[in-house]
Structure 1
Amino acid sequence: MSGSTGKTAWIFPGQGAQKCGMGKDFYEKSTAARQIYDEASRLLGLDMAALCFEENERLDQTEYTQAALVTTCLAMAEALRDVLPAPDVTAGLSLGEYCAIAAAGGMRIEDAVTTVRKRGIFMQNAVPDGQGAMSAVLGLTGEQIEAAIAGLEGVYIANYNCPGQIVITGFAQGVEKASEVLLEAGAKRVLPLKVSGPFHSPMMKEAGEKLEQVLQEIELSPLRIPYVTNVTAEYVKEIGDTRKLLKEQVASSVRWQQSMERMIADGVTTFIEIGPGRTLAGFLKKISRDVKVINIAAWEDQEKL
C-alpha cells in the first residue's frame, strides 16, 4: 500500500474531534489500547474510560478534552500499529501534533498524555471566560482574510484548514467586528465556534511559557521518522527543535493546509487519519483530489485496509 510509488502519512485530529464513545471499541477489543487508557487514568488521576465513553460535560472542557483525545488517538494508533502501513511522516492538527510526535518516536505516550493535560489547563486558564472567541470563515482565501483584518485590533488567523475554511481568533469584540468586515468582503458565512478561549492567538503566550517549563521536564527521543509542524509547515527531523515549536504552536497560526501541501509535494500519496470523526479527511479532499485518504475512527474501519 505504501509501495515504492508513494509515501504514507499518519495524521491526527485536534480539539473539536472529540465525541462521547470515542475509542470504546478499541478499548474493548485491543489489549494495547486498553493499557494506554488505564495508564493515562493512573497518571492523571482521572477515569479515562468514563471521560471518553460515557455522556458527560467534561469531555468538551479544554482541560479534559486534550488529554482524552490524545489518549484515544494514541491508543488507536498503538492497536493498529501491526495492521497499518508504517508511516514515512506524521502530522497532527494543533493538539494532534503531540500524537504525531509520539507516533514518530520522539515522545513517550505517557509524556504526551501528561503534557497535554497541563497544556489544556494552561490554555483554559489563559484568558477569562467570555473575553476570547473563535469563528470559522467560509468562502475566502487566507490572503483575502489577512487583508480584511489587517487594520483590526486583537484579531488573528488561528487555522489555515483548507481552501475556503479558515478560523479567526482573538478578543471577543475583535472577532465580532472581523465577522462583519469579512461578510462585507464576500465570506459566505462566519460561524462562531464552541471553544473556551482564543486559541492560537498571541493571547495564549503565557500558556506557551508555562508549557515550555513542562516540556523541559520530559525526555524527548531522536525521531525515527520526521513530522511536519503546524508552526512553519516544514519537516522536523531533529527532536531538538520540538520544545520551542510546541511552545510557539499554542500562540501561532496552525498552517494545516500548507503542511498537507508540503507533504504532497514531498511524495505523500496516502494519508491515514487516526482518531474520531472525519475532519482531516474532509480538509484533504478540498486540498487535493489526487491523494488517497483513509479514515480510521472505529474498530471496523480497519477493513478499509
Structure 2
Amino acid sequence: MIAFVFPGQASQFVGMGRSWAESSNIAAKYMDRANEVLGRDLKRTCFEGPEEDLTDTRNQQPAIYVVSCMAAALLKKEGLEPGFVAGHSVGEYAALYAAGVFDFESGLQLVQARADAMAETAAAHPGTMAAVIRLDRVVIEASCAEIESNGEGILSVAGYNSPDQTVISGTREMIEEAQSVLKDKGAKRVLPLSVSGAFHSALMTEARVQLEEAIEEVDFAPPKIPFVSNNTAKPEADPSAIKVQLAKQLVSPVRWVETMEFLKGEGVEACIEAGPGKVLQGLFAKFNPDWPCESLTDFASIQETAGKYR
C-alpha cells in the first residue's frame, strides 16, 4: 500500500510543473483552468517566475495546490491509487481534492481565499517563525509556554516536522527570545525562517474567521480515500469535521511526525510526494531512512514511480 503526501509552502520553485504540462495534456489543462478561475497568469508565474512573485503567499499557495493536483492526476492516470492521502499545511487542500472531497476549482478558490486571508492578517498582526533543530519537543513546548506567559506576545509550536525539527511561531520579540532560551537549553540550532507571518499560531485568528466563511460556501463530500488530518494525525471522514479542521489548522500546529507514525503503523510501504520539491522526502528520511518517500522531478519520474509501485 502507498500513500500520496502533498507538500506545503517552501516547496515551490520557478519552473515547477512545466515538464508535466509540456508532456501531458491532462497536466496542461490544470494550469489553463487555474488561470481562468483566478483571472491571472499563474501558469507564467509557476513556469517563468520571477521568484519574488512565486514566493508571495498569494501566488505561492495556489501555485503549490495546482501543481500538486497535476501530480495526483498524473499518478492516477498511470494507474496508482493511494491507500491514504495527507498534506502538510496548505498541502491538505490537494490531498482533499485527490480524495474527491471537492472539485479542482472549489479547492483552488479556497486556497486563494486562505492565502489572501493569511496575507492580510500577517500584515495586521506581524510575526515570524523559526525552526528548532535537535531539541526535545517537550522542552520546546514548556519553554514557549513560559516565555509567552512572562511576556506580551504570542509564542507557540507551529509544526512537528521531524524528530529533529520543530517549528515555532509568534511575535518577533517572542521568537527572538526563544532563540536564545532554546539554544541555552540544548538546541543545536534555531533558524529564523523567511516567512511573511506567524502562521499556525493565534496571530492567525482573523484569517481563521475569514477562511471559515469561505469554507462554508463550498460543498464537501466524504473522502473516497482515507484523509489524514494535520490537526489530529488520524483519518477524518466527516465532511463537517473536515471543514472545522481546515480552518482550525491556521492556528494549530502541523502534526507531521504523528502523521508519518500513523501511516507507518497502518502498513503504508512507501509514500509519494505528489507536488513540487523534495521537502517531505527530506522529512521522511529523517523520520525513517529505510522508509521510502519518492519525489517527482519531471514527467519521466512520474512514469518511473508508477511503474515501481503499480
Taking structure 1 as the reference length, what is the TM-score of the superposition?
0.95
Between the aligned partners of 2:155 and 2:227, the Cα distance in structure 1 is: 29
Give unpaired runs (5+ residues) of structure 2.
149-153
Please say if 1:90 is aligned against 2:85. Answer: yes
Give unpaired runs (5+ residues) of structure 1.
1-6
How big is the shift at 1:80?
2.4
1:81 corresponds to which residue?
76
Between the aligned partners of 1:130 and 1:227, the Cα distance in structure 2 is: 32
Q: How does 1:173-188 map to 2 (within 5 A)?
A: 173-188=173-188
Mean Cα displacement is larger for which, 281-290 or 16-25?
Answer: 281-290
Deviations 1:182-239, CA, capped at 9 Å, x for gaps: 0101111111111100000011111011101111111112211111111111111222
AA of the residue aligned to 1:11: V
Between the aligned partners of 2:7 and 2:71, the Cα distance in structure 1 is: 12
1:65 corresponds to which residue?
60
Task: Detail structure 1 runs of 4+ shifted over 6 Å in the superposition.
Answer: none
The number of residue pairs the alignment matches comes to: 299
Between the aligned partners of 1:216 and 1:129, the Cα distance in structure 2 is: 24
Equivalent position to 1:115, from 94, 110, 113: 110
Between the aligned partners of 1:238 and 1:225, the Cα distance in structure 2 is: 12
Deviations 1:52-92, CA, capped at 9 Å, x for gaps: 01131211011111011101110122122122521011000
Task: Considering fraction of residues, name the structure with more helix.
Answer: 2
Structure 2 contact 45–53 (Cα < 8 Å) conserved: yes
Structure 1 contact 129–197 (Cα < 8 Å) conserved: no
Between the aligned partners of 2:233 and 2:268, the Cα distance in structure 1 is: 14
| Percent of pairs with identical residues | 37
Between the aligned partners of 2:170 and 2:195, the Cα distance in structure 1 is: 12
Structure 2 contact 230–259 (Cα < 8 Å) conserved: yes
RMSD of the TM alignment (CA)? Answer: 1.3
2:151 corresponds to which residue?
none
Mean Cα displacement is larger for which, 199-208 or 74-83?
Answer: 74-83
Equivalent position to 2:33, from 39, 42, 53: 39
Between the aligned partners of 1:276 and 1:298, the Cα distance in structure 2 is: 10
Structure 1 contact 276–298 (Cα < 8 Å) conserved: no
Equivalent position to 2:46, from 37, 52, 58: 52
Structure 2 contact 42–59 (Cα < 8 Å) conserved: no
- Partner-residue secondary structure (3-state), 2:168: strand
AA of the residue aligned to 1:272: I
Between the aligned partners of 1:135 and 1:103, the Cα distance in structure 2 is: 31
AA of the residue aligned to 1:263: L
Taking structure 2 as the reference length, what is the TM-score of the superposition?
0.93
AA of the residue aligned to 2:242: T
1:275 corresponds to which residue?
275
Structure 1 contact 274–297 (Cα < 8 Å) conserved: no
Deviations 1:160-188, CA, capped at 9 Å, x for gaps: 00011111100010011001000101111
- Partner-residue secondary structure (3-state), 1:127: helix
Q: How does 1:257-296 map to 2 (within 5 A)?
A: 257-296=257-296
Q: How does 1:22-33 map to 2 (within 5 A)?
A: 22-33=16-27
